Amino acid sequence: MKVSVIGVGNVGATAAQILAYKQIANEVVLLDIIEGVAEGKATDITQCAPSYGFDTLVTGVTNNFEATKNSDVVVITSGSPRKPGMTREELLTINVDIVLNVTNNVLKHSPNAILIVVTNPLDSITYAVLKHTKLPKNRVIGMGSSLDSARFKFYLSQKTKLPINDIDAMVIGGHGDTTMIPLASYANYKGIPITNYLNEKETEEVVSQTMVGGATLTKMLGTSAWYAPGSSIAYIVEAILNNRKKLIPCATLLEGEYGIQDVVMGVPCVIGKNGIEKVVELKLTAADKEKFEKSAQAIKKVNAEIK
């Protein structure tokens, strides 16, 4: 199985590293526009093989989309990174043109590939890719809510002191500081509602921390995070290549689900060999339903700016 990663900054390179280390794919191709960067990172990753014991073929190329030919999955991280004080939405104008150009080149060589979009503002970029390519919605996946859900679990674990891997929680809605919706009503520890461990104020604090989780790291690091985003990408890729049928919150085009039309936003999805194989409709509380509808309207407003 072959995976190509377009754009190998911190996020793309981390995703490629995990794909290689865990031998999720047989072949991983790194592509970047900056001369030597993809080649150097591919070489660096491959030199880890004797220590980690993997045999995934990792290659790097500069702007040569021919090398991505016959990819099963293509990860698109290309674009300008988010800078301190910058919202994801402010990146829209810069990144739409970049990603659509990349998508055209990718599909020339891998017309059957499943695309995972990582570039921000993620929901609107994913929407632009779907509308531009006219691909079926199962083949274009926005990574955002998977990452947001991981951060939600982290903050819940920090607050409750419970093991992070025993906490089940998800975030839906937009991949933005004001549009994401951490579903506290569904969060649980081994089936026990998380509200058994947190009072209302503590729960609200966790929700607030989750919603600005990306911005918090940007302030600390001076750039966007990369370990958790790269891991979320690899998690989705693994579910596709191994047909796991995992329930993963991802951004997808809603066509009536949750009462929403023609908006890409995060919802729980069953991920398998065909990409998004099913959208799972949850019964939302009245408050969460209202937030979800407001999130959809906010994303639509951003989408209207796409040329």
Q: Which residues are annotated as a binding site for substrate?
A: 82, 88, 120, 151
- State how far the Cα of 193 lies from the Cα of 239, in Å rounded to an integer: 27
The C-alpha angle with vertex 188 and arms to 183 and 194, in degrees rounded to 5, equals 85
DSSP-derived 3-state class of residue 220: helix
Binding-site residue positions = 7-12, 32, 82, 88, 95, 118-120, 151
Tokens of 267: 């919802």
CA angle 82, 6, 43 (to 5 degrees): 105
What single DSSP character describes residue 25? S
Q: How far apart are CA 154 and CA 206, in angstroms?
A: 9
Known catalytic residues are 175
CA distance linking residue 57 with residue 122, whole number of Å:
29
Residue pointed to by tokens 């919706």: 181
Task: Give the sign of the dihedral formed by CA 272, CA 145, CA 302, CA 101.
Answer: negative
